Every structure is written in C-alpha cells, then in structure tokens.
Amino acid sequence: MAMIEFKGKNFEIDEDGFLLKFEDWGPEWAEYVKESEGISEITEAHQQILDFLQDYYKKNGIAPMVRILSKSTGYKLKQIYELFPSGPGKGACKMAGLPKPTGCV
C-alpha cells in the first residue's frame, strides 16, 4: 500500500490506485485520478455520476448495479464509457472514492 500526495493532500491507495478509506475523499482526489483514467477534464456529467455513486454508497454501503446507475443518472452504459473510458467500476467508482469492486471480475 502506498501514500501519495496531491495538492497538499495525502491519500492512502492500493496497487490499483483505489482509495483505501472512503472518508479520505476530497475533490483533489478526483483531480488526481483523472489522468490515469483517461479523463482530461471533470465535467458536470462526470460530477453527476460521482455524486450519485457517493450518495448511493453512503446510503446503502455498496456500489449501485450498472442498471441502477444508468436509470438514476439517465446515462446509458455507452455514455458512461464515453465519460469514464475504464467503465463504471475501474473509472467512476475509483474516482468517487468507493472501495475496489470485488468478485469474479
């Protein structure tokens, strides 16, 4: 596990670049992650998805299913990949500070 520093903030991350503690999240985190996730600028659309993921995680303790993410934000999977080239798991969840997806990935 590694510590990284960005814009004066410290984040503890794993090998895949996921935040170890959700509570450590800050807007700087999204800024830090974006490059490695192929994103040049965080637009309103990105932000909407990040906000939804965070609210959902706070309320339910899990990340939403892709279907729920699409239905709730109005973004089709195709659009989500346009925004987050690595997809909702590796791209959006990482940027939102959610824990790393698990299972038979």
Partner 1 sequence: MAKHATPMLDQLQSGPWPSFVSDIKEEAERRHKNVGNVEFQIPVDVCDDLLGILELSYKDGTTHWKHGGIVGVFGYGGGVIGRYCDQPEKFPGVAHFHTMRVNQPNGKYYTTEFLGKLCDLWEMRGSGLTNFHGATGDIVLLGTTTPQLEEIFHELTHNMNTDLGGSGSNLRTPACCLGESRCEWACYDTQELCYQMTLEYQDELHRPAFPYKFKFKFDGCPNGCVASIARSDMSFIGTWRDDIRIDQEAVAAYIGGEIQPNGGAHSGKDWGAFDIEKEVINLCPTECMWMEDGKLMINNRECTRCMHCLNVMPRALRIGNDRGLSILVGAKAPILDGAQMGSLLVPFIKVEEPYDAIKELIEGIWEWWMEEGKNRERLGELIKRQGLAKAISAVGLTPVPQHVMEPRHNPYIFWKEEDVEGGWDRDIADYRKHHQR
Residues noted as catalytic = 104
From residue 22 to residue 51, what is the string marking binding to partner 1 with x (rule CB under 8 A)? ----------------x-------------
Q: How many CA atoms lie within 13 A of 2 on its CB side?
A: 7
Helix, strand or coil for residue 89? helix
**Sign of the torsion formed by the C-alpha atoms of 15, 27, 39 and 87:** positive
Q: Does 90 bind partner 1 (CB under 8 A)?
A: yes
Task: Tell me whether residue 8 or residue 67 sits nearer to partner 1 (CB atom).
Answer: 67
Output the smallest distance, CB 89 to partner 1, in A. 6
